[in-house]
Amino acid sequence: SNGTAAPNYAARPETLKPLLTEALQTWEMDALALDELTNHRPLSALAPFLFENLGLAKEFKMDIPRMKHYFVEIESGYRDNPYHNRTHASSVLHVMHMLLSSGGIAAACAAAADGIDDTSHRVGLVQVAGLLAAAVHDFEHEGLSNDFLVKTFSPKALRYNDRNVNENHHVAAAFEVLRRSDCNFLEAMPEDEFRKLRSLVVDMVLSTDMADGNYYLKVFKEALAS
């Protein structure tokens, strides 16, 4: 389909590779430069690079061609909004990667992947979930707030009963794409792991609704105080 071709950045690998490597290893990443160098395909360049170079693709037996196609499809669902766009998605993906890896969040949250005996595998699953959630967290965002969608009785608001309207759509639509045979790069993942992954991704994307921000901040503060 139109706009779903693979990223065309082969002409400038000498400048792109250092930028991706910097994103992998440091807190600094110029998302706008990445957007320009990848011909406006920053997300579908960065996501597979992270999954492969973090060893997650190998650990979870990801289908590389289908993974690359999945992120091309997801990226194509990001519209040219001033804010909720593919460059924003790649920036959030990078920050999520650094929080999980260098910030110690993946190890600290490993208990969220309960039921998996191997600690390293458990941490890896949390990483996969976090990266996937970051990549899809604004998928097909129309640039309209939940409040507007609810007050105008939009089809999305009616479908999701006025609750976390945008966020419910982002994650549901992203999993619909993942379930397509040409995009299901996690097909080899055991069902119990996939269900845990799905649960984590859904929770993370739904929690990006800023209307719930005070609640999560309260829970976080109470956890720190205990």
3-state per-residue secondary structure call for the chain: CCCCCCCCCCCCHHHHHHHHHHHHHCCCCCHHHHHHHCCCCHHHHHHHHHHHHCCHHHHCCCCHHHHHHHHHHHHHCCCCCCCCCHHHHHHHHHHHHHHHHCCCHHHHCHHHHCCCCCHHHHHHHHHHHHHHHHHHCCCCCCCCCHHHHHHCCCHHHHHCCCCCHHHHHHHHHHHHHHCCCCCCCCCCCCHHHHHHHHHHHHHHHHCCCHHHHHHHHHHHHHHHHC
Catalytic residue among 84, 97, 169, 170: 84
Q: Based on the residue annotation, tell me whether 84 is a catalytic residue of this protein.
A: yes
Give catalytic residue positions. Answer: 84
